[in-house]
Structure 1
Amino acid sequence: MLLTHEKLLRILCHVWSEKSSTKYSPENPARGQCGVTALVVNDLFGGEILKTPLPEGWHFYNRIHGQVYDFTASQFKEEIKYEDILSSRDEAFADTNEQQYHYLKHSIISRVRDSD
């Protein structure tokens, strides 16, 4: 099965939980998921991890084949003014931990396998 960006977003909405971010809430499932999501997207699609400063701190997202993807933008009510600052896996990992990262990665891979 080909994992499109649209399919990945649908999967993320189902697997984000308090196991992938301590800031998770059912009312705002993308909240606090940016670092861990950017890491897993980087694993699955390659590309670069980018960041933009926001009042809450750094916001992480991805650039893949020149296209910017922010799978967690829905957590914010206001429009994001993206600065597209090149980041790193280490910086994104500072926003998460090993358990959250492994949970999210394995949950996505399991969903993809189950849909084949």
Structure 2
Amino acid sequence: MSTLDKVTIAQLLHALKQTWSFKSSSKWSMDNPSKGQCGVTSLVVNDILGGEIRKTPLFEGWHFYNMIHNTRYDFTESQFNESISYEDLPSNREEAFMDTNFNQYNYLKSSVLKELSKTE
């Protein structure tokens, strides 16, 4: 059984928090590490845990997150000061990729997988 077969939400969130950086989003800052990470994070979470990518319109534009076994997981909600009124609109990988690029995606995915491998 590989690490990905038994990864928990808590482990994945920890790995994301350890690896978000300017390399995964140009909006990243030390004060707000999840800023601008929603698209790239939703893609990596989808790769690891499956489920669906969902979106909600916000003032800044679309906000992406994940729906796994009918439960919403928004790993980047901490970037916002106000609570989100989720609409849970269906989305997909193509839309989420419009919020990132391959370099950011490849960096975050490989960094998260490396971080998760430390938990074996």
Gaps of 5+ in 2: none
Alignment partners' CA distance in 2, 1:42 and 1:67: 13
Gaps of 5+ in 1: none
Contact 2:34 2:79 in 1 (8 A): yes
Runs of 4+ in 1 over 2 A off after TM superposition: none
Aligned match of 1:44: 48
Q: Which secondary structure state, in structure 1, belongs to the residue aligned with residue 65 of structure 2?
A: strand
Amino acid in structure 2 at the alignment position of 1:41: V
Aligned match of 2:114: 110
Alignment partners' CA distance in 2, 1:41 and 1:30: 14
- Alignment TM-score, normalising by the size of structure 1: 0.97
- Alignment TM-score, normalising by the size of structure 2: 0.94
Q: Could you list the per-position Cα deviations for residues 38-94 of structure 1 after superposition, in whole angstroms to 9, with x for gaps in the alignment?
A: 000000011100000000000000000111100000000001000000001000000
Q: Which secondary structure state, in structure 2, belongs to the residue aligned with residue 115 of structure 1?
A: coil
Among 42, 64, 69, the alignment partner of 2:68 is 64
Q: How does 1:1-12 map to 2 (within 5 A)?
A: 1=3, 2-12=6-16
Percent identity among equivalent residues? 58
Amino acid in structure 1 at the alignment position of 2:100: T
Alignment partners' CA distance in 2, 1:115 and 1:87: 31
Alignment partners' CA distance in 1, 2:85 and 2:91: 16
Matched residue pairs, number?
116
**Alpha-carbon offset, residue 26 of structure 1:** 0.5
RMSD (CA atoms): 0.7
**Alpha-carbon offset, residue 13 of structure 1:** 0.9
Aligned match of 1:76: 80
Alignment partners' CA distance in 2, 1:23 and 1:92: 16
Aligned match of 1:96: 100
